[in-house]
Structure 1
Amino acid sequence: MKYWLLKLGMYSASTIAITYLKGFRWWYLVIWAIVMIFVDIAIEKKFERQREQKDRNKAKKKYPFLNELNEGQVITVELKNGEKLTDVIFLDYIKSEMLLGTETEFNNELETYEVSEIRWIKLKRVESILPRAD
């Protein structure tokens, strides 16, 4: 709601300013247009972060297993079609999809896993997720 009020206020101010700035030279209008573009970009950035956080919270509420996963955790994913993905690395999730690193290899020198393939999985296709027992 705040987003649309800010946008409406910005465009109202723009209309009023253009009406009164017509009497001045043309470069006042150009400066006003540039200022409005920067204000619009700032509003978009501010509310985009809030939308992303809201989407992440909604996904966590709908799919509670996301609360237990940590970035870089090695897991086994069982899909509803019976397919089983073993030893994959959980990377991240966005809205309704989960990003997994498959075909992983352990690098002894760096003591980390190396990912050679990245795969997107729709969260609604996931039957269960099990952490790997070391």
Structure 2
Amino acid sequence: MKLVYWVLKIGLLPVLMFLGTYFMKLAGWWAIIISVIAFIVANGLIDRKINQFNHQYFINKFPVLEGLKYGQIITVELNNGKVLASRIFASGLSSEILIGAEPVKDNELEEFLKGIKKTRWVKLKKVKMIKIIK
């Protein structure tokens, strides 16, 4: 189903531009404006569906993602064998998670910036296993 949405997304622009130029002879520039608006709306809907498929796929692959909360300590094992141990879960998207190396305990700017430098996004397709430690 995801493939169908990608094909629709790729074929959407040429079809709408063809229709826009065809109807431009009848309605003028309004046809181009309407076709561009239709493209933006349809592209947003297709992107939302693709993100839903990605999210559901990774929830099925890693059920632990559903219960993860900000600040929990996790261990992430990547497909290449690298283990990211004792990392702090910060956020998640449909296909990536944001993890940090150290928690920021003080409100000092230096401590905060040092903690920010040690955060990284991890693509879930490169992850083999996720374990919650705390």
TM bucket (normalised to shorter chain) is: 0.5 to 0.7
Whole-angstrom CA distance in 1 between matches of 2:73 and 2:85: 8
Hey, what does 2:133 align to over in structure 1?
A: 131
Alpha-carbon spacing, 1:16–1:93, altered in 2? closer, same or farther (3 Å)? closer
Superimposed CA distance per residue, residues 46-78 of structure 1 (whole angstroms, 9 cap, x where no aligned partner): 2211211121011101122212212x1321305
**Structure 1: 5+ residue stretches without partners:** 22-27
1:75-124 deviation per Cα after TM superposition (whole angstroms, max 9, x unaligned): 130526363521523421442x3221222222479xxxx54221133444
Return the alpha-carbon distance in structure 2 between the equivalents of residues 10 and 82 of structure 1: 46
In the alignment of these two chains, the number of paired residues is 118
Larger radius of gyration: 1
Cα separation, 2, equivalents of 1:11 and 1:78: 45
Q: Which has the higher strand share?
A: 1
1:67–1:99 CA distance, 2 compared to 1 (3 A): same
In the alignment, which residue of structure 1 is the partner of 2:83? 83
Alignment of 1:1-134 (within 5 A): 4=8, 7=12, 10=16, 13-14=19-20, 17-18=23-24, 21=26, 28-70=27-69, 72-79=70-77, 81=81, 83-95=83-95, 97-107=96-106, 115-116=115-116, 117-123=118-124, 124-132=126-134
TM-score, length of structure 1 as denominator length: 0.64
TM norm structure 2: 0.64
Aligned-pair identity in percent equals 19
The runs of 5 or more residues in structure 2 that have no matched partner are none
Cα RMSD between the aligned structures?
A: 3.4
How far residue 126 of structure 1 moved from its aligned partner, in angstroms, is 4.1
- Which structure has the higher relative contact order (CA within 8 Å, separation 6+)? 2
Q: 1:125 to 1:18 in 2, by over 3 A?
A: closer
The amino acid of 2:85's aligned partner reads L
Using the TM superposition, give the Cα deviation of residue 17 of structure 1 relative to its aligned residue in structure 2, in angstroms: 2.4
